[in-house]
Amino acid sequence: MTAKKSLGIDTEELASCVSCGLCLPHCPTFRVTGEEWASPRGRISAMRQVQDHGLAVDESFLASMDSCVQCRGCEPACPSGVPFGSMMEATQAELARRRRVDWRQWGFWVLGHRWLLNLLSRSLAVVQRLRLVPSKRLGLPKIPLVQERLRATGNDVWLFTGCVMDAWQRSTHASVKRVVESAGAGVALPGPGAACCGALSLHAGLEDHAHALAARTMKALEGSAPILVDSAGCGAVLKEYGKHMGTPEAVAFSERVMDVHEWLAAQADQLPSVGERRRDVTVAVHDPCHLRHVQRAHQPVADVLSRYATVVTLDDEGLCCGAGGAYAAMQPELAASIRDRKLEAINRSGADIVASANPGCTIHLANAGVVVRHPLEIVDEVIDYDG
């Protein structure tokens, strides 16, 4: 263990940036602002000023850190392998300690309690219909009033259902489950313990809360069956439990986690053929950051999807859409400018619909009027289950 200083960033990690700037164009906030403080290199430099040179944590420091989407687009772009995500998580954890009470703590606590989330969501759904909450401005999706009920069909694989997604987009899980089953696997569903992966808490620096959620999730998904995840953000965190908790159980757990598309791509020969219902739609695949930059497993989405639809890739090298968990709600202006770039790329691609394997991106993009579906919803509609 190396010594930790004021921000608690590992000194080795902090020293690893050589300031080359090659990450800059891959950072969504730099792309839209052109300002160094909103870039990975600038943020690292800011962390160094505070941790190594004793500069005060002031408003400009907070602005630099809080404007980061934590998309980690900078990581694969960095030739020096700088672990930016981990440095940012450490910084956010320290900032959260300094801020002491953070309203987000309460908000994210709800995510860990499915009954409460469902209750709140249902009331939100009612309120939305009464137009009491301006959904567009808050970036909230239209929440379904009545949820479909999912039933387990075996125990070959787990399907991780998560928190927000389960409450707001359960029909997606249903589609995913059907597609997975069509490849011949029985699907097990976790109990209420695995309610939330802890991603949002982790990104906000609420480490303890995140670790508590992780412990519960691991308990609820025991055994050795692969754990399939259909939300890129959750998958990224589940895959990093091992790194975060450092225990052998956590490491073993993380090794079982797969993005559902990764698993499907590996079973390609088991997948059903294209049915008559195949539509001639052109689908643009939006690579969620947590799939592309963190899990580095975005290719399987296109691989699976292209068996069932015409797939086009966007020409922006997987630049973030600006959703970033709670980011769109916290930094609405930056999030919207970042999204505008993405919308331009979508327009250029000429696609009819956009496929996104992350609920946050789906909501964020849909709010701008784009038709966004989960890739497996599209597949689900095209598969001829009887044929």
Kindly state whether residue 152 participates in binding ligand FAD, applying the rule CB under 6 A. Answer: no
From residue 166 to residue 205, the character string flagging contacts with other proteins as x (rule: CB under 8 A) and all else as - is: ----------------------------------------
Which residues, 74 to 113, sit near ligand SF4 by CB under 6 A? 74, 77-78, 80, 82, 84
Is residue 41 a contact point for ligand SF4 (CB under 6 A)? yes
Considering only residues 296 through 335, tell me which ones interact with other proteins, judged by CB under 8 A: 315
The answer to whether the CB of 329 falls within 8 A of the CB of 323 is no
Least Å distance between CB 73 and other proteins?
Answer: 13
- Which is closer to ligand SF4, CB of 41 or CB of 374? 41
| Residue 331 contact partner, candidates ligand FAD, other proteins, ligand SF4, none, CB within 5 to 8 A by sort of partner | none
Q: How many angstroms separate the CA atoms of 360 and 144, rounded?
A: 16
Token digits of residue 329: 């709600």
Question: At its nearest, how many Å lie between ligand FAD and the CB of residue 23?
Answer: 11
Query: Whose Cβ is closer to other proteins: residue 34's or residue 192's?
Result: 34
Cα 194 versus chain centre, distance: 17
User: What is the sign, positive or negative, of the torsion defined by CA atoms of 128, 129, 134, 137?
Assistant: positive
> Least Å distance between CB 24 and ligand SF4?
7
- The answer to whether 234 touches 297, Cβ cutoff 8 Å, is no
CB atoms within 10 A of CB 18: 12
Residue 214: HSE in the Cβ half-sphere, 13 Å Cα cutoff: 28
Q: Is 29 in the site for ligand SF4 (CB under 6 A)?
A: yes
Task: Kindly identify the residues of this chain, within the stretch 292-351, that bind ligand SF4 according to CB under 6 A.
Answer: 320
What is each CA distance from 227 to 143, 158, 202, 263, 300, in whole angstroms?
A: 26, 5, 21, 10, 16
One residue of 2, 4, 11, 20 binding ligand FAD per CB under 6 A? 20
Is 80 among the residues that bind ligand FAD (CB under 6 A)?
Answer: no
Q: Point out which span in 13-21, 194-202, 240-248, 359-367 binds ligand SF4 (CB under 6 A).
A: 13-21
34 sits near ligand FAD (criterion: CB under 6 A): no
Contact flags string 69-98 toward other proteins, x per CB under 8 A: ---------xxxx-----------------
Instruction: Give helix then strand counts, H and E, for the chain.
Output: 23, 8
Between 21 and 186, CB nearer to ligand FAD:
21
Binding segment (CB under 8 A) for other proteins, from list 29-37, 103-111, 198-206, 325-333: 29-37
Instruction: Report, in angstroms and rounded to the nearest whole number, the Rg of the chain calculated over CA atoms.
Output: 20
Residue from 5, 8, 10, 45 binding other proteins (CB under 8 A) = 45
Backbone dihedral angles phi then psi of residue 268, each to the nearest 5 degrees:
-50, -40
- For 179, 183, 189, 231, the CA distances from 186, given in Å and listed in that order, are 11, 9, 10, 20
DSSP-based three-state secondary structure for 282: strand
Separation of alpha carbons 240 and 92, rounded Å: 17
Pairing, β 257-259 against β 282-286: unpaired
User: Which stretch, 4-12, 14-22, 112-120, 263-271, contacts ligand FAD (CB under 6 A)?
Assistant: 14-22
Q: Taking the alpha carbons of 142, 143, 147, 153 in that order, is the dihedral positive or negative?
A: positive
Q: Give the tokens for residue 11.
A: 């000194």
Query: Which of other proteins, ligand SF4, ligand FAD, none does 29 bind, CB closer than 5 to 8 A by kind?
Result: ligand SF4
Strand partners, 312: 284
Q: Smallest Cα–Cα separation from 229: which of 189, 269, 266, 193?
A: 189
**d(Cα 228, Cα 307) in Å, to the nearest integer?**
20
* Shortest reach from residue 91's CB to ligand SF4, in Å: 11
Among 14, 28, 29, 42, which residue sits at the site for other proteins (rule: CB under 8 A)?
A: 42
Q: Contact residues for other proteins (CB under 8 A)? A: 15-16, 18-22, 24-25, 33-37, 41-42, 45-46, 49, 53, 55, 58-61, 64, 78-81, 315
Q: Contact residues for ligand SF4 (CB under 6 A)? A: 17-23, 26-29, 40-41, 43-44, 68-74, 77-78, 80, 82, 84, 320
Q: Contact residues for ligand FAD (CB under 6 A)? A: 20-22
